[in-house]
Amino acid sequence: MTKEFLAALDQMQHEKGIPKEEIISLIEHAVSKCLAKVYPLSDRYKVTLDRETGQIVAWGIKSAVGKVSDPRKEILLSAARAIDPKVSEGDDVEMPIEVDEIARIASQTIKKVITQRIREYEKISVYKKYKQMENRIVSGRVFRFIGRKAIFDFGDAEAVLPAEEQIPKQFLRANSFVKTLILRVEGNEKKCEIILSRSHPGFLKQLLADEVPEIKEGIVEIIRAVRQPGIRSKVLVRSLKEHVDPVGTCVGVRGSRIKTIISELGGEKIDLVDAAKNPAAIVASSLSPARVESSAVKINKTKKQAVVTIDPSQRGQALGQGGFNINLASELTGMEIDIEYGEKEISDTAEAGTGDNLKTPPGDITPETADLEAAPLPAAEIAPETADLEAAAELVTEDKEKE
């Protein structure tokens, strides 16, 4: 072995993260074990790799005795003193071995030790790397499918996207690059499995954080997110600065920010609810797309219950198919929500489009119903078909001027 070998160890330390001294110690230990098995001089050996030249030096070790009973373990005291005059009976004597004698044995052993250690370190580094990346979004290539499970290739590791963690009715294609959330890393450093998700609420929260700089900067905070994957999501947000609208910030100019997220989720509708509102307004907003007045919400803070009176025509929208919408609203607000039905009177003026008595529910923004200057919306459901807010404001202004 030469200085080039030591340079290779330095490069391995830089690229693989394997400490050079650890590799050298492993080599020394492995060569000594190998010599003990195949070399007849002794059953114990001491091996040192010179840090300057890269050469391996080895010694056989025997005990000095007056009478030899086992030639591999013992040496006559007179012969031992020929090597080291200071040796006493019972002392260990180190007998040098020629480098040429150990070169063949050492080369094969070193190759095996280094290869094995590299594999071990790669497994350890993969486990540590992805364990630290839990709850973060990564982009990977869809490598293959096992049943409904998708196997992703990240270059240095493979990961699994189970069927239950996929967005319903959204089909993945082999060799396509897809964003996923690292949900958890199971196992240990020797053997681990990376579990991915696209249906977890954390995936939506991380998409928002990546798309909205104000969230990463700590200006806007996501308090809670709940999902019915592929259908609807609800996100409770608040601003940590007085003059920043958290809902508008997440939506972006003309919906630019939220549309990117909706596209990634396959058209899943998103309701954004401002946590700065009073509890009744939050409950009303959380029932979007149903049209609910905050005055129609009665809250029992002690029992964490809310009774909401809505127009019978809004029943389907408030409940959602199979009751998913009201369940999401309950999960978002942390309250048990009960629905009561009552007739809602709408004046002729409101029907004519003045907007005095007809409020637009969160997420149903259209030029015909939104009076943007009169009052801010309690929440925003941003879907691909959402109207341009500026255009809506212009239309409302024109209607007022005509009147």
Per-residue confidence (pLDDT) for residue 350, from 0 to 100? 34
Strands (E), 166-285: 177-187, 192-197, 220-228, 232-239, 269-274
142, 167, 197 - which closes a domain: 197
Q: Are residues 122 and 140 in the same domain?
A: no
* Burial letters 336-374, b for 16+ CB under 10 A, else e: ebebeeeebeeeeeeeebbbeebbbbbbbbebebbbbee
Domain ends where: 115, 131, 147? 131
Q: Are 165 and 152 in contact (CB under 8 A)?
A: no
Instruction: With H, G, I as helix, E, B as strand and everything else as coil, classify residue 160.
Output: strand
Query: Containing domain of residue 152, as a range?
Result: 134-197
- Cβ neighbours of residue 81 closer than 8 Å, sequence gap 6 or more: 64, 87
Question: Residue 369 has what DSSP assignment?
Answer: T
Residue 55's pLDDT band, with cuts at 50, 70 and 90, is: confident
Distance of CA 303 to the CA centre of its chain: 36
Are 316 and 349 within 8 A, CB to CB? no
**Per-residue pLDDT tens digits for 271-302:** 999 998 899 999 999 999 998 998 889 999 88
CATH of the domain at 163: 2.40.50.140
Summary mean pLDDT of the chain: 81
My answer on whether 277 and 396 are in the same domain is yes
Q: Say yes or no: 66 and 211 in one domain.
A: no
**Rounded to an integer, what distance in angstroms lies between the CA atom of residue 314 and that of residue 344?**
10
Residue 49: the pLDDT is 84
Question: Is 99 in the same domain as 20?
Answer: yes
261 membership: H or E segment, kind and range: helix 256-264
* Count of residues making up the chain: 403
- Give the separation between CA 11 and CA 328, rounded to whole angstroms: 54
Q: Are 95 and 62 in contact (CB under 8 A)?
A: yes
Which tens digit of pLDDT belongs to each residue from 226-266? Answer: 999 999 999 999 999 988 999 999 999 999 999 999 999 99
Same-domain pairing of 282 and 244 = yes
pLDDT value of residue 356: 34
* Tally of structural domains, the chain: 3
Given a contact cutoff of 8 angstroms between Cβ atoms, the answer to whether 202 and 231 are in contact is no
**Domain shared by 397 and 262, yes or no:** yes
**Rounded Cα gap, residues 64 and 88, in angstroms:** 7
Closest CA to 135 of 83, 62, 68, 210: 210
Which stretch of 184-188, 236-240, 268-272, 339-343 has the lowest confidence by average pLDDT? Answer: 339-343
Give the Cα separation of 212 and 249 in Å (integer). 7
81: helix, strand or coil: helix
Q: Tokens 């058209």 belong to which residue?
A: 267
In angstroms, the Cα distances linking 391 to 145, 322, 346, 394, 396 are 46, 35, 26, 5, 9
Same domain, 226 and 338: yes
Residue 267: the pLDDT is 92
Residues 78 and 207 in one domain: no
Look up the CATH number of the domain holding residue 112.
3.30.1480.10
> pTM to 2 decimals?
0.67
Q: Are residues 224 and 155 in the same domain?
A: no
CATH number where 322 lies:
3.30.300.20
Identify whether residues 243 and 350 lie together within a single domain.
yes
26 and 116 together in one domain: yes
Structure tokens at 372: 């943007």
Beta pairing, strands 158-161 & 192-197: parallel
In a shared domain, residues 156 and 237: no
The label of the residue with tokens 């609420």 reads 201
pLDDT, tens only, 369-398 = 333 333 343 444 444 333 343 443 443 344
Q: DSSP labels for 202-225?
A: HHHHHHHHHH-HHHHTTSEEEEEE
